[in-house]
Each structure stands twice: as structure tokens, then as C-alpha cells.
Structure 1
Amino acid sequence: MRERTSLAAAIRTALAAEPERVRMRYLANGDDESAVLTCDEIDATARRVAAGLLAADLQHKRALLVVETGPDFLHAMLGCVYAEVIAIPASEPRPGASLDRLNEIAAASAAAVVLASARVAADLVRRIDPESPLARVPIVEVPALAAADPLAACPGEDRDPALPVLVQYTSGSTSTPRGVVLTSDCLLANIAMSSRGMDVGQSEAPEMLVNWMPHYHDMGLIGKILTPLVNALEVVHMPPLAFVQRPARWLKAISRYRATTSGAPAFALDLCTARVPDAVIDELDLSCWRTAFCGAEPVFASTLAAFRRRFARAGLRPDALFTCYGLAETTLYAAGAHPPAGAPEPDTAGLRAPCYLDDASRATLRIVDDAGRPVADGIEGAIWISGASVAAGYLDDAAGTAATFQARLSPDDGRPYLRTGDVGRIEGDRLTITGRSKDVLISGGANVAAVDVERFATRDLPHVNADGAAAFQKADLPGAPLVLVVERQRGAAPTMPDDETIATMRRAVFEALGIALDEVLIARPGTLPRTTSGKIRRAAVRDGWTPADAMTAAS
């Protein structure tokens, strides 16, 4: 059994073991190294930031971290952990973008301070509405805190592992964003579980990670910052925008640094498959990449198959790429492992890629019916999860915590379960996610996942955006009109007239799922509301989006 300790103690122990070893590298433009940090440099700067936080009387209080990808985020995050300040990472607002989400988090979290880089701090001071929640929270620049003398002893090392360390806000793709409270216990349990399940940090051989996921996102923060710090692994970071602008940068970094582990959502694989040219692929050597996980959103077998085919010529191992499953409420990881030897190739006609389970993840998962009774293998139901990785609950929300984190099986096995809100089935050692309970469409007595409608409608149409689609019903009632809104693919020339595109999508959905779409709209690129991690907010599309931005509509 893992010995209980604090996150601060686990990180400091790992850093102290190799003080001169490089732990973090940063490519600010996606290509060239802008910063290289050793273990000793990371620890010393974090202790300076912690000293500044303690001098400001912030111990045990909450700090909103609004810092872009780079060393300032790392120092702010670790400074909070060292000083017993509860860190609340948030997305830095894009120039000219609304501050609504940041104001919502500031108000809901009761943050005592905003920690920001110099650039973000200047932008916020210029744009904050004096009547907004952010106006009532002081903004402190991380470099100013780092000017303090470093702490000799960090109070965070002695913090009770059952107490909160950070608060992770959900993406809000199906509900209002809520703060998930994470303790040292659940963080370290999840890091250990994911490391074993995905075979990261389990070898004596050198390992390297490459990351472009946002630092405030659970995959970027826990998977690519905290996990490597605890496991003593080196990481190369680049900003998300650097990847989106040129997806080849991600693969070039893996090849250049001989990365063994890197992962991303499914849309990133689709982008690479479509946009990395042959000439670049011929220069890549991806034979080093043995753990290529794909998660954070529904994963389709066709996405994995296309990526494998496209990059096999660059040395990508067929067994490197696999699906993982998790959510903020389970800290990060819930399941996902390399397929066992001899496992069949996923059936691309079946649409969803299965997630393979090891013994640890299988023991925590239950598929249940509406009454909380476990169902047999192969039967679809609600996914419930128990275990040490499950978060403590929602911040300052006792009712929400009780409803989501304290479900009980029937008959009761004595353990509380997390209601994930996801629907799926288990068949042997495979978990297949079939949808979100809040995104199930009911038509003609059949239950259909919204994401399946979106995928079948767009899969053979390169001029529409498969990751920019929303299927929904106009009311939460069976038989309510079914609507599909799909964005035009940015920069793509139409391969057929819009009326033919709409007819093709209608036909594809009916042939695959047996349901008829009542209304179909083609929208301008980038017009549908998204979460901070890029997922389409279907509820917001249904409740607040109007077809004013639509290029073509058909009923």
C-alpha cells in the first residue's frame, strides 16, 4: 500500500534526488527552446514564490492562477503547493475575449488573490469591469513573488494529505462549470494508478514527455506537470496555440527529443492526419513513441486507424496508440491501457474505440441501471466509479457533492460511488463509452448519443468540421425536434452545394442510426460556443445560440 504523504513532500523528494537534472523545457514558439529548468532551479523558485505567498498572508486561502504556458505557471503552482495555498488554475483570457468565465470562477471560488504573469496581469487590469467579481480580488504578478528569499522549510510538506491542494474547474460542456476539490491523497493515488495503467515512469530506461495541452486543463496539469514531477520525468512543453497553428510541431518535438510518452484529444489526431504534409512525415522518426494515449473527448476507431496508417511510415508503432478515459471528478485518469498482445484491431464500422482496462481500473468501475444495480457484461448503463482517485467533492457545494459523489449500489457494497454522467458498457477487459447521459437524444423510442449523430453526419464530408458540430433536441422531451448544427471547415472549399451537403448528412444519420433529423444548419467556422478545452457546449447551442450565423438552414 502506498505510504500517505503530501503532494509537496512527494514533489520535493523527487526534485532533491536529482538537483542538476533537467526536468522542464519550454518551446515558447513551438520550435525553439525558450527556457530549460533543472530540478534545483524549479524547487528554489517555487520556494521563493511560496515565501512571497506566506508574506502576503495567503496560507490556507485560495489563489486563482491565470498564467499562460511557461515557467511562471509552474512556479506559481508549486509555490501554492509549498505554501499551503489552494491553487485554482484557470484559462488565461484571449485578447479581446470575454472575461465572463473568469468572473464566474472568481465569484464561485471566493479566491483571495489572482496570480498572473506580467502580461496577463496588465491585460486584466486594463479590461476588468470595476463592478465585476474580479475587481474585488487583488492581482499579484508571479515574478514579483519570486523576488523573495526562498523558504528553508515549506509548510505544504506537512499538510494533511486529506486536505485540499487544488481546485480543478470542469469544462462545462454539459453543465455549469464546477470546482472539483483535489487532495494530496487523490492526486497521488491517481498519479500512481495512471502511471501503472499507461506504463509511464515504470522503467529504468530514460523517459521523455512532450506536451501542448493547456496547463490549466487536467490532462496538461496533472498528466504533464504533476505526474512527471512525482515520477522524475523530463517534459517538453509548447503552448496550445503553437500546436493548433502548426500540428506538425507536436510530432517534430516527439521526434527531436525522442519522447516516449505524449497524448492528446482525438481532434488533435484528426488535425495531424489531415494537415501534416508528406514531406514532414518523411523527416520524422516516431519509433521512440511507445505510449500515445488519446482521451479527453469521445474517441472513434476511425480516428485511431487513420492516424496509425498515416504515420506508420514515420515509425509509429501499431500498439503505441490507445484510448484512455477520465474526468475531473476522478482527478484525471479512470482507465486506459495498451491493448494486450493479439488484441483485434478496433472495428471502424462500430464507431467507438474501446478503452482497455487493467485490474486496478476494472476494480473501480461499475455499469449500473437506473436503480443503481450492476448490469451484466455487454449491457449498456451508467458508469459509476469508486476508489482513492475520486475527488473530495465540489467546492462549497454540499448538495452537488452528495448527489454526484455519494451514490450507492443496490445492494450496497459499502462504498460511495461517483456518478460520472457517462454511459457505456464493459465487455471483458474493454470499456466502451457510448455517450453522456445528458447528451442522449430520444427519437421514435430509440436512445441515440448526440456524438454519434454528429460523427455519422460529418465523417465523409471534409468541408464540414466534425469537431464543430452539435446535435440536440429543442426540448428535454422524447420526440422533440432533432437539430444538427455543423460548422464549415475553416479554409476548406465545398465539395458539393450546401443543399446536397445537408441531404448527405440526413441520409448518413438515417442509414446508420435510423432517425430523421428535423432541422440541419451549416454555420460559419468558429461560431458555436465552446468550453475552454475546445469542446462544443451542446446545451449552450440549444439554449442560447441562434441561427443568425448560419450560412445555410434546412428544415
Structure 2
Amino acid sequence: MARSLVDVLSSHASARPDRTAYRFMATGDCDGDVEELTYARLGRRARAIGAVLQERGLAGTRALLLYPPGVEFVSGYMGCLSAGVVAVPSVPPQGRVQNLRTLSRMRRMIADADVKVILATRQVLSALDSASGHFPELSTLVCVATEEIPDEAGDSWREPAIAPDAVAFLQYTSGSTSAPRGVMVTHHNLMHNQVALTERMGHTPEALEEWGGELYVSWLPLYHDLGLIAPVLNNLYVGGTATLFSPPHFLQEPSRWLKAISHYRPHTSGGPNFAYELCLRHASPELLDGLDLSRWRVALNGAEPVRAGTMRRFADTFATAGFRRESHFPCYGLAEATLMVTGSSVDRAPTLVDRSDVASLSGTVEDGRLVSSGRPGIGITVVVADPERRVERPEGEVGEIWVAGESVTDGYWRNVRATREVFQASLEDGRGGFLRTGDLGFMRDGEVFVTGRLKDLLVIGGRNHYPQDLELTAETAHPGVRPGCVAAFSVDDAAGEQPVLVAEVAPEAAHESAGIRAAIRSAVGEAHGLSLRDVVLIDRGTLAKTSSGKVQRKASRTAYLEGTLSVVDRSGLATGHAARQVVSSP
């Protein structure tokens, strides 16, 4: 029995050496340049990279992976596992504006994980060299351009003694926080979650044969848990073929995703809810006429709230291209549980419930319906708890989602306090070892429905954003914004979860309200890659705060939605009714 993905790769390299493990569409187009990597080739590359790491005495250390989209990331990642090195996937530098923000995050990760080596392509390492003035740590690190390692280096590779509880990689959960948290994913966590993924999504040997080995098409970023553990590692675990292309190519032309599915005819593909919305916006008659989505069996939808209206419109729109309503596959997971916690049933339409039928829920959602995220995977336990009283909520009642099982990781790297707070929850009846997800939901007939979050984290376009980071950016965008008097939160609309900023302005700057709003939008767009739905400027001293001076984001969100903010309008005057106008403004 395979103990780790290193064993799995070795088995596939022997049993199916010529099968394409991964192909990468360099231009995002099916008729463009395509790079392929067979299982035999991947096995050779992993051993060669692993041998170099072993020879340099790096076993047991952490390696930062800085790869652009492509198959070299997979070789580097498996090279780390093959050497007993802990992989730390990260986004590589991208462009001049993005560079400083990316470098800042990289430096925090390097310090937190005590990284000793950087694995990357020569192009990325050259870019780092050019930014060395902002990156003094670079001179202390071993930097390896893995594509330059010859296959022959693998002749000296020694199979590592991999313990099941050894950390395989660190998945950093934040895209922008100044206090990153590295989730410690062990080899056993990875293997257990692969069992859960495989069972839930129906990736049986029979299905793999029926689909001719074509398992995934994915544009998701490889350094993110959803893009890594499902289309990359689950494909490896099952022994199929995954077709990959880059997130920018998808965002530039969402139809590329559907065209790739139509061309390669995979069993499984998916992304966050916003990806389906983008496809709907580009669903021209010409596109529909050229698609065949009839082989798309599992349409994953996760990483952000799943919307009944999106699923309905997508199924209706793409039915003429062969898409089946039963292919929708809402799921729920988080990095702290490796990835998947729950998943829908293959070939069965997702369960929907009317929001009005759920006690303790207020407000409205599109279509007035909530979408089930399916049932827990094999070996995973989910309870809905009252976190204050530490008792399990009755079926149908909303509480915090708690998770236990072998997919739940050991905690955060070198962060004992956060690990204790998040990973060691216990119920009053004595059941313990639960992961507190911070997400709200309820259970009905064994299925999990996610309804919201206890935490203030914003999930926009499938990416996590911490409100305090957006607030700091807004505060420094214009001198008229009052420091410590900004609230960031998200609201729902037909396009998904959207960010909003509410900021107090100094009285002497109220007449500059249009310029302040523009400055905040520009700063947040540049620093975080976000387009704000609204920037609402309010009168001094009116932002909701606790008695100790902490910003109350939930109260600010409620006031925004109810139109009770003391909004400074374009004339610089405050009015308690202007918020309703701002909500609907472009």
C-alpha cells in the first residue's frame, strides 16, 4: 500500500510510463503550444530534483516554490517530497507593480517558515536578482533553477524514510495578511484527503477507463490548496491526465476554460462560483454552437459561497452545449482540513432548501434558496456547534461548522496559540479534537449547508482578503481619511461576494469626497487587485466601534445595507439617508 505520493508516483511511472500526467496550454488555447509531462518523465524529474536537494543536505528543511504556471511546478513539488524537504508553494513575482507586494509576502513567508532554499525557474530567479535591493535575504538562501538539473542527477537519489506524520508541505492561508499562517499538511493528511476526494467525485478505475484517462481541466493557481490538491495531486493519486493553463489566461478570456473542456472532454473541472458567472457573461451564441460539454461529469464549485441562481442560469444557458444540471458539484473545504470536507453526489442535482425554512437566518439570497455542499468525505466528521456553549446544534439550526478526522491537519507552523484556538475545540459531552472553521452553517439529512462566516475574512473571486489590510490601504490612500476609522466588509449581489469600504473623513476634507473615493479605489486596486463595489465616506465619529475602540465591521455592514450610515455626499454634507443611493451607484 502506498505510504505517500512519492510511492504513488513511483507506481504510476512503472505501470503507465507513457501516459500523459499533465499537459499545460502555454497560451491558454487548445490550438496553441502545449507542454506535456508523462508519468515516467515526472518520476525522473522528481528524483533528479530530490537528489540535488539531498546532496546539499537540505532534507528536513523548507523550500519556497516560486514557479509560474506550468508543469515545472509539479516537478519541483514532487522533487521536494522525494527528498524529504517541506514544500512551501507561493506566488512568484509578477510585473513591476505586483513585484513589491509579492516580495513583501515572500519575505514574511521565508521568515515564518525559516526557508533555506528557493526552487524556481531561471527566469524567476533572474527577476529576483533584479529586485535584490528589496530582498536582502536572497543572498542567504540556496537558489535552484530546477529545469537546469539534468535527469542523470537522479542516479544518486536515495528513497527517503517518509513518516506518515511528517510535514509534506506548508499551505499558507493568507494572500495579504502581515501575520501569515502556514498550515502543516502531513503525508498522511494528503493521502487521507485523496481518498475522500476520489470517493466523493467518483474517480473510480472504471470512470478513469471510460474517460480515456482524461480526468481534469484546470486554470486554478497551483500554489493554492484548491488548485494543487484537486487537479494536480488527485490526478496523480488516481493516475489520470490533467490539462492545466494559467489563471490570467482564464480571466482574460473565460471561454478558454469551456473550450478546453469541450476539446479534452475531462471527467472533472471547476472553480469558485465567480468563474461560472464569468462564463455566463461571455456565453455568446457563437460560443454555445461550438461547445460540447456532454462529458463534463463533475463541475466543482467551491472556495466561495455557492449560489443557486448561478447554478440554475449556467445549467439553463449551457444545456444546448450538453451540460447536465446533475453535473453541478458544490463542495466545501479549507486548507486546515487539507482540502475537501464535504462534496455532493455524482450524477445527482444538488439539494436546495428555501431560506425561509431555516430558523435563525435573516436577510435574502438570490432565488431565496440555499445550496447544499454535500456530505462529509470518508473518515471526516462534521458537527454544527454552538461555540459559546460547546454543544451540538440540533439538525436544521445554524451554528459554527466543526470538523474532525484524519484530513484535519496538525495546526499552524510555529503558532501554538492559534493552533490551540482553532484545532483543539471540544464539545461539552467529551468529544474533542475538532477544527473550528469559523464558518456558519447547518445540517439537514446528513448534508452540510454553509450560510456565512463568523470571521471577518473576505473571499472575493476565490481569494482571501483580510479586512484590516484593505482598511490600512484606504487610510493611507488620502490624507482626508481618518486613521483607524475605516471598515471593510463584503456584500452579496448577483455577481457574487463584493468588497465595500466605509471610511470617516475629516471635516476639512469633506469637500474633496470625489477625489478621496477615487484615491481609495485606485490604491485598493493596485495593492490588492480588487475592484470595490462601493466606497462610502461618512461623518467623523460615526463609524461603529466597541467601547475599547475596535471597529465593528458587522455593525458597519448592517448600517450600510439598511441605509443608516451618516454619509458625506458630494457637497460635503452629512445625511443619514444617502447610503441607499450609494448602494446602487456604479
Fold shared by both chains (TM-score > 0.5): yes
Counterpart among 436, 441, 448 of residue 431 in structure 1: 448
Q: Which stretch of structure 1 is more off in the superposition, 142-151 or 207-216?
A: 142-151
Q: Is the 8 A contact 1:23 1:39 kept in 2?
A: yes
SS, match of residue 378 in structure 2? helix
Counterpart among 6, 29, 45 of residue 8 in structure 1: 6
Counterpart among 562, 575, 586 of residue 515 in structure 1: 562
CA distance in 1, matches of 2:114, 2:5: 23
CA distance in 2, matches of 1:205, 1:13: 21
Aligned counterpart, 1:307: 314
Q: Which stretch of structure 1 is more off in the superposition, 213-222 or 298-307?
A: 298-307
Counterpart among 17, 20, 25 of residue 27 in structure 1: 25
Counterpart among 197, 201, 205 of residue 210 in structure 2: 205
1:375 aligns with 2:431: no
Inter-CA distance 227–510: structure 2 relative to 1 (3 Å threshold): closer
Amino acid at match of 1:470: V
Q: Which stretch of structure 1 is more off in the superposition, 341-350 or 352-361?
A: 341-350
Aligned counterpart, 2:325: 318
Inter-CA distance 381–60: structure 2 relative to 1 (3 Å threshold): same
Amino acid at match of 1:350: G
What are the residue-to-residue correspondences of 1:56-95 with 2, within 5 Å? Answer: 56-95=56-95
Amino acid at match of 1:430: E
**What CA deviation, in whole Å up to 9, does each residue of 1:157-200 have, x standing for no partner?**
x3111111111100357884310011111000001011111222
SS, match of residue 177 in structure 1? coil
Q: Is the 8 A contact 1:510 1:516 kept in 2?
A: no
CA distance in 2, matches of 1:130, 1:342: 51
Inter-CA distance 237–396: structure 2 relative to 1 (3 Å threshold): same
Q: Which stretch of structure 1 is more off in the superposition, 322-331 or 369-378?
A: 369-378
1:181 aligns with 2:171: no
Counterpart among 356, 372, 389 of residue 374 in structure 2: 356
Inter-CA distance 349–39: structure 2 relative to 1 (3 Å threshold): same
What are the residue-to-residue correspondences of 1:75-474 with 2, within 5 Å? Answer: 75-96=75-96, 97=98, 98=100, 99-129=103-133, 132-146=136-150, 148-151=152-155, 154-156=158-160, 158-172=161-175, 176-201=179-204, 203=207, 204-206=209-211, 207-338=214-345, 341=348, 348-350=366-368, 352-358=370-376, 360=378, 363-413=381-431, 415-439=432-456, 454-455=491-492, 458-459=493-494, 466-470=496-500
Q: Is the 8 A contact 1:285 1:314 kept in 2?
A: yes
Aligned counterpart, 1:539: none
Q: Is the 8 A contact 1:337 1:356 kept in 2?
A: yes
SS, match of residue 115 in structure 2? coil
Q: Which stretch of structure 1 is more off in the superposition, 110-119 or 30-39?
A: 30-39
Deviation at 1:151, TM superposition (A): 3.7
**What CA deviation, in whole Å up to 9, does each residue of 1:472-499 have, x standing for no partner?**
799xxxxxxxxx99979x9xxxxxx999
SS, match of residue 332 in structure 2? coil
CA distance in 2, matches of 1:199, 1:313: 25
Inter-CA distance 379–175: structure 2 relative to 1 (3 Å threshold): farther
SS, match of residue 324 in structure 1? strand
Amino acid at match of 2:90: A
CA distance in 2, matches of 1:385, 1:281: 41
**What CA deviation, in whole Å up to 9, does each residue of 1:196-218 have, x standing for no partner?**
11222453423421010011011
Amino acid at match of 2:108: E
CA distance in 2, matches of 1:520, 1:50: 59
**What CA deviation, in whole Å up to 9, does each residue of 1:504-552 have, x standing for no partner?**
xxxxx99999834526799xxxxxxxxxxxxxxxxxxxxxxxxxxxx99
Deviation at 1:130, TM superposition (A): 5.5
CA distance in 1, matches of 2:327, 2:35: 29
Unaligned runs of 5+ in 1: 442-449, 460-464, 475-483, 491-496, 500-508, 523-550
SS, match of residue 95 in structure 2? coil
Inter-CA distance 425–151: structure 2 relative to 1 (3 Å threshold): farther
Inter-CA distance 520–159: structure 2 relative to 1 (3 Å threshold): farther
Aligned counterpart, 1:444: none
SS, match of residue 237 in structure 2? helix
What percentage of residue pairs aligned between the two structures are identical? 32
CA distance in 2, matches of 1:303, 1:153: 49
**What CA deviation, in whole Å up to 9, does each residue of 1:400-433 have, x standing for no partner?**
21221111111112x4011111111112233221
Amino acid at match of 1:515: E
SS, match of residue 436 in structure 2? strand
Aligned counterpart, 2:551: none
Amino acid at match of 1:435: G
Amino acid at match of 1:129: G
Q: Which stretch of structure 1 is more off in the superposition, 392-401 or 75-84?
A: 392-401
CA distance in 1, matches of 2:566, 2:282: 31
What are the residue-to-residue correspondences of 1:48-59 with 2, within 5 Å? Answer: 48-59=48-59
- In the superposition, the TM-score normalised over structure 1's length comes to 0.79
Inter-CA distance 304–134: structure 2 relative to 1 (3 Å threshold): farther
Deviation at 1:69, TM superposition (A): 1.2
Q: Is the 8 A contact 2:299 2:327 kept in 1?
A: yes
Deviation at 1:7, TM superposition (A): 2.6
Q: Is the 8 A contact 1:386 1:418 kept in 2?
A: yes
Amino acid at match of 1:60: G
Q: Is the 8 A contact 1:290 1:320 kept in 2?
A: yes
Inter-CA distance 23–440: structure 2 relative to 1 (3 Å threshold): closer
Q: Is the 8 A contact 1:247 1:276 kept in 2?
A: no
Inter-CA distance 199–238: structure 2 relative to 1 (3 Å threshold): same
Deviation at 1:451, TM superposition (A): 11
Inter-CA distance 152–337: structure 2 relative to 1 (3 Å threshold): farther
- In the superposition, the TM-score normalised over structure 2's length comes to 0.75
**What CA deviation, in whole Å up to 9, does each residue of 1:103-124 have, x standing for no partner?**
1111111000111111111111
Amino acid at match of 1:518: L
SS, match of residue 335 in structure 1? strand
Runs of 4+, deviation exceeding 6 Å: 450-453, 471-474, 484-488, 509-514, 519-522, 551-554
Superposition RMSD in Å = 3.5
Inter-CA distance 367–385: structure 2 relative to 1 (3 Å threshold): same
